[in-house]
Amino acid sequence: MTTPGRTNVELPVLTHCPYCALQCGMAITPEAAITPRTDIPANAGGALCQKGWTAGELLTNGERLTGPLLHGRPVAWETALDHVADRLSLIRAEHGPDAVAVFGGGGLTNEKAYQLGKFARVALGTSQIDYNGRFCMSSAAAASMRAFGMDRGMPFPITDLAEADVVLLAGGNVAETMPPFVRHLSGPRLIVVDPRRTATAKLAWLHLQPTPGTDLALALGLLHLAIAENLVDEEYIAARTTGFEEVRTSLASWWPERVERVTGVPVARMRQAVRALAAAQRAIVLTGRGAEQHAKGTDTVTAFINLALALGLPGTPGSGYGCVTGQGNGQGGREHGQKADQLPGYRKIDDPAAREHVAKVWGVQPDDLPGPGRSAYELLDALGTPAGPRALLLFGSNPVVSAPRSAHVTGRLDALDLLVVCDVVMSETAARAEVVFPVTQWAEETGTMTNLEGRVLLRRKAVEPPAGVRSDLEVIRELAARLGHAWPSDPRVVFDELREASAGGLADYAGITYERIEADKGVFWPCPAPGHPGTPRPFLDRFATPDGRARFTPVEHRPAAEEIDADYPVYLTTGRVLAHYQSGAQTRRIGPLAEAVSEPFVELHPDLAEELRIGAGDMVRVRSRRGETRGAARISDAIRRDTVFMPFHWEGANRLTNPALDPTSRMPEFKVCAVKVERVA
């Protein structure tokens, strides 16, 4: 094992985990030894999961990229940068600025996300930018904007969870995706909504196990029961909300027995859940990817928010609604310009006032800024087509593994005139690129992250990167310079510009500095001025709507975009496992994690396995209308008989998934599609 180079900072360095949005605090030595911090609330007293404990191996892994590649061959940095800049200039000159696209990642620091959005819109002049966070919590973001006028995953500190009496978690398996989170759930009664009896569901007081794709119907049924049993908070509804009567009327047809027929959840269990939430002095409703990654994900989250509002939870101390954000900077990554329709500060790109403010900071005219572009899947789907982008710059994402209908997306990537990838290792996507830039990772650079609470944190540089590796900010600076723009790459300087660009927006960072973050162990946005304390609970007095009231919105259940039938008679749902993270590009290269789960698998119920004559360990073929993949069989009564589960950390599961998009959030329907399962002879 090689030892990363020493730095001149005080050792060990206090920083944060490279993985999920919990952003656990950790200390790291020059030898890449990890110890947990006890001063960061998200860690719950110093917990780390096995991914966090082994994160030091990311810094010493022998598979690191350490030099630029052009057509798979090592070249000098200047050669690679000149080649990319020349190709971008030629493609833009021949086909226009929208012939070049940018695809970012939810693991990028705030500084990188901000500079990437600026680079796309100013240096390239393209509207074609989005990021993989669109696949993460965009449905919850859209629903929160609809209801509250603001999207901040959990608009309260994570420590509020432990003080709650009841927590309902719809579609989240935090015991595997972010294990330290579970420590915050040791106090309340936990109600879990999930088609699988996951590790989290096994900890629950009550498990509601719906048919995949029916979470929306379940939420409607829960609110119908709350109204029928006079459990709603009429005083709160009158004082702090609008639109309840329309929702009350829309629920008339969702009587409990009908909901049971649609979802498979017994009425008695629904009553238990509603009565527990209503009786609690402090209750919290949370949603995760299981409820959100659907073609009706925004409406599903809206229905759970409607339930929370009817019970008087949001904006009430100790209670509320929140979204369990997944990616490390899924929150901050969408606040400052990576999304197709947003500018820094969570401003809408088609808002004239927003354009004027940001254009002034960037030193351009408002009319010079492009308008909204394509959402993530629509952007990937358009690559290499006559009307779509001909070049793609990709930072911190691996769509060959992570995108829905991934075989099709891979074909679109291969159809490009130019694919440029910035990554730490040779991911499945980087392997297809014309140019690969090796970039720094978490402990090799300084930058800010915004965790699932909306707390802005500082990840500090702890070790020197390998020789020949540069930061994403340096790559952006060098490409911008070749396109005629002189921009900084110092993260502190970039963050100060981000503060100015975000000032006055919903996600206002103007009063946040590196010094304040270090002194306070993080600062909650909005923080509009240097003397402002930050805002841990933004909805206590009013919501971020024009009239200060939260908005009920009527929604209606509809079936999954693809239901099971005679040809494809089984539901497929996907998710994560404890040992791995996202597309697995990092964790599959770490010895203990790869050993814990070394290959994809297919989890199926004993009854289904018996019917299909499949035994534990047998190789299983899973087919959908979009492709097929294989995995070893795992027999478990934790899954419904009509459903199989596959983890998405390997290339294969997303060959099957359905790219049907939510009309509001443009979220693909990752969580349910129809498949055929058979034993491989």
The domains found in the chain, sorted by start residue, are 13-60 (2.20.25), 69-133+329-524 (3.40.50.740), 138-324 (3.40.228.10), 570-679 (2.40.40.20)
pLDDT score, position 306: 98
Provide mean pLDDT across the span 222-242.
98
For 168, the 3-state DSSP assignment is: strand
The predicted-structure confidence for 181-204, as pLDDT tens digits, reads as follows 999 999 999 999 999 999 999 999
Round to whole Å and give the CA distance between 490 and 477.
10
Provide mean pLDDT across the span 566-575.
98
Number of separate helices (H) and strands (E) present in the chain: 25, 30
Length of the chain (residues): 681
Q: Which residue spans within 61-211 are E strands per DSSP?
A: 69-70, 73-74, 100-104, 129-131, 166-170, 189-193, 206-208
Provide mean pLDDT across the span 130-148.
96
pLDDT score, position 11: 76
Query: Is 28:34 a contact under the CB 8 Å cutoff?
Result: yes
Which pTM value belongs to this model? 0.96
Question: Among candidates 247, 262, 265, 250, which has minimal Cα distance to 306?
Answer: 247
For 370, the 3-state DSSP assignment is: coil
Dihedral sign of CA atoms 336, 329, 561, 386 in order: positive
Provide mean pLDDT across the span 131-157.
96
pLDDT score, position 30: 87
The predicted-structure confidence for 48-89, as pLDDT tens digits, reads as follows 999 999 999 999 988 999 999 999 999 999 999 999 999 999
Residue 678 neighbours by CB distance under 10 Å: 13
Question: Among candidates 52, 93, 50, 69, which has minimal Cα distance to 426?
Answer: 69
Round to whole Å and give the CA distance between 275 and 269.
10
Q: Is the pLDDT of residue 10 over 60?
A: no
Give the model's confidence band at 1: pLDDT under 50 very low, under 70 low, under 90 confident, else very high: very low
Structure tokens at 145: 């904007």
Q: Is the pLDDT of residue 5 over 60?
A: no
pLDDT score, position 45: 83
Q: Is the pLDDT of residue 4 over 50?
A: no
Question: Among candidates 151, 85, 83, 80, which has minimal Cα distance to 119?
Answer: 85
The predicted-structure confidence for 155-187, as pLDDT tens digits, reads as follows 999 999 999 999 999 999 999 999 999 999 999
Looking at this protein, which amino acid is placed at residue 537?
A: R
* Neighbouring residues of 438: CB distance < 8 A, sequence distance ≥ 6: 64, 65, 66, 67, 68, 423, 424, 466, 468, 469, 470
* Neighbouring residues of 376: CB distance < 8 A, sequence distance ≥ 6: 103, 130, 131, 132, 134, 135, 340, 403, 666
Q: Is the pLDDT of residue 119 over 60?
A: yes
Q: Is the pLDDT of residue 7 over 70?
A: no
In the chain, % of residues over pLDDT 90: 95
pLDDT score, position 410: 98
622 backbone dihedrals φ, ψ, rounded to 5°: -120, 125
Provide mean pLDDT across the span 590-596.
95
DSSP annotation of 600: -
Provide mean pLDDT across the span 298-302.
98
Q: Is the pLDDT of residue 137 over 50?
A: yes
| Averaged pLDDT score across all residues of the chain | 96
Q: Is the pLDDT of residue 325 over 90?
A: no
3-state helix, strand, coil in the chain (%, to 5): 35, 20, 45
For 678, the 3-state DSSP assignment is: strand
Provide mean pLDDT across the span 536-550.
98
pLDDT score, position 44: 79
Residue 206 neighbours by CB distance under 10 Å: 17
